[in-house]
Amino acid sequence: DLVVGAPAHRFIPNSHNTGTVFVSMLNSLGLWTQGAIPLGAETFEGVNPQYGRSVALDGDVIIAGAPSLMVNGNKGAGAVAIFTRGQFSPWAGNTPIENPDAIMNETQGSNFGTDVDVVKQVVSPRNPTGEYYYLIGAPLKTINNDVGQVYLLEGNTWNTLNRPENVLGNDRFGSAVRFREDLENGDHQAIACARDTGTGGTGSVYLFDQTNFGQPWLPKATFVIGDADVQPGSEAVICQDLAAWGPMLAIAAPNGVPSQSAVYSNPVIIKSDGFEEP
């Protein structure tokens, strides 16, 4: 399966650009269907909720974010939708899941759903029952949290990944989130980014782990990028996106010096003092 978000798509009969998510599948002839299945656009109403800005797929589950959705008058509160492959329906579900922390009397929300990821945990001692875990970033500051937040949904239980420290003034914690395979234990760890909101180019990547299923997720390592190559007065968006596979980590850093945007990558070797330098 291939899942693609279209956050500015206008889904009829909605009158605004609500966004949607398209699913393509590889058929028996080895050909891809061309975005034949739109998912959930009728669920998110209002002006430009950017549904489909973030999407993730693992096995029989899709999660998609609508970070600009207005919830109870709160602009940009955001929400996500989770779809499960059904026996008689290609993908079932689309009930919006809102930020589990109530945000009241705000003009700007946390953009819950800016980035998302999903993975199936099947390895002991974490969760051998094979439940899906979801990571959801909410990077904008609110009255309740001035640096952003990352949420982890395990079954029906919500947890948060608490940033251990403010490295180089980075906030927008949760601007990018990913699960990463734990090479030592065979299960997964959680990775979350924070980045500088001022001029210059700095960003930090935090890795979290838990000792056993149901235990808190605790910070295990930090990787910092400082003094990125940027034009004076410009802002390099360190860690706008990231990817993690095997022992590798890649960090996108667009909007630097013209024609010199970068992707930082490094082997991830977990040590007591953090990630190995690139």
- Model pTM score: 0.86
* pLDDT for position 54: 95
The predicted-structure confidence for 218-277, as pLDDT tens digits, reads as follows: 888 888 777 555 444 455 677 888 888 777 788 887 765 555 667 777 666 655 555 655
**Inter-residue contact 181 to 170 (CB < 8 Å):** no
Neighbour count for residue 186 (Cβ, 10 Å): 11
Q: Could you give the CA distance from residue 275 to residue 192 in angstroms, rounded to a whole number?
A: 13
* pLDDT for position 65: 93
In sequence order, which residues have a C-beta less than 8 Å from that of residue 15 and are 6 or more positions away?
none
Name which of 63, 185, 41 is nearest 112 in CA terms.
63
* pLDDT for position 80: 92
Lowest mean pLDDT among 40-44, 96-100, 102-106, 177-181: 102-106
| Residue 179 phi, psi (nearest 5) | -90, 150
* pLDDT for position 118: 93
Q: Read off the pLDDT of each residue in 144-152 and give the average, rounded to a whole number.
A: 85
- Kindly indicate the confidence band of residue 71, based on its pLDDT and cuts at 50, 70 and 90: confident
* pLDDT for position 250: 85
Could you give the C-alpha distances from 157 to 134, 151, 153, in angstroms and in order? 10, 10, 6
Q: Read off the pLDDT of each residue in 70-86 and give the average, rounded to a whole number.
A: 85
The predicted-structure confidence for 8-48, as pLDDT tens digits, reads as follows: 877 666 556 678 888 888 878 888 877 666 777 677 776 67
Q: What is the DSSP string of 144-181?
A: S-SSBEEEEEETTEEEEE-----GGG-B-BTSSEEEEE
Type of residue found at 265? S
Neighbour count for residue 224 (Cβ, 10 Å): 17
* pLDDT for position 6: 86
The predicted-structure confidence for 159-212, as pLDDT tens digits, reads as follows: 889 887 766 667 889 999 999 876 666 678 899 998 876 555 678 888 888 777
The predicted-structure confidence for 128-144, as pLDDT tens digits, reads as follows: 556 888 999 999 888 77
Within the chain, strands assigned E span: 2-6, 20-24, 37-39, 54-58, 61-66, 79-84, 97-98, 115-120, 132-138, 149-154, 157-161, 177-181, 188-195, 203-209, 218-225, 242-245, 248-253, 262-267
Output the average pLDDT for the chain.
77
* pLDDT for position 266: 66
* pLDDT for position 210: 79
Residue 55, token pair as written in the block? 């999407």
- Examine residue 219 and say whether the peptide bond preceding it is cis (omega within 30 degrees of 0): no
* pLDDT for position 53: 92
How close are the terminal C-alpha atoms of the chain, in Å?
A: 33
Find the Cα–Cα–Cα–Cα dihedral 213, 216, 220, 223, rounded to 10°. Answer: 110
- Per DSSP bridges, beta strands 61-66 and 97-98 are unpaired
